[in-house]
Amino acid sequence: MAGGADELKGGLKQGLGKLTGDDALEAEGTAQKTGGKAARKVSGAFNEGKGSVKDAAGDALDSPSLKAEGVVDKVKGKLQGS
């Protein structure tokens, strides 16, 4: 789960900063949360692309298992990116 942990930690820091009035902690949390979200979306796009390649290769090679792996990777990527 690339970026998910940073996104969560950043959200916690951001909320704690707001709660305590600590602008620096809030800003640090916002940056960490944004970076984590970006990393998660990039990972999702990568998995979708990898899945598309495996899906097409499975069709070309008449390999149902490779095609299935591709479908799973594409779904995984879509879920990561959302």
Domain coverage including residue 38? 4-81
> What is the helix (H) or strand (E) element at residue 56, kind and residue range?
helix 23-60
Mean pLDDT of 55-65: 94
CA distance 62 to 33: 43
The confidence score (pLDDT) of residue 1 equals 59
Q: pLDDT tens digits, residue range 18-45?
A: 999 999 999 999 999 999 999 999 999 9
pTM: 0.76
Cβ-Cβ contacts under 8 Å for 13 (sequence gap 6 or more): 25, 26, 28, 29, 32, 33
Q: What is the number of structural domains in the chain? A: 1
Q: pLDDT tens digits, residue range 38-51?
A: 999 999 999 999 99
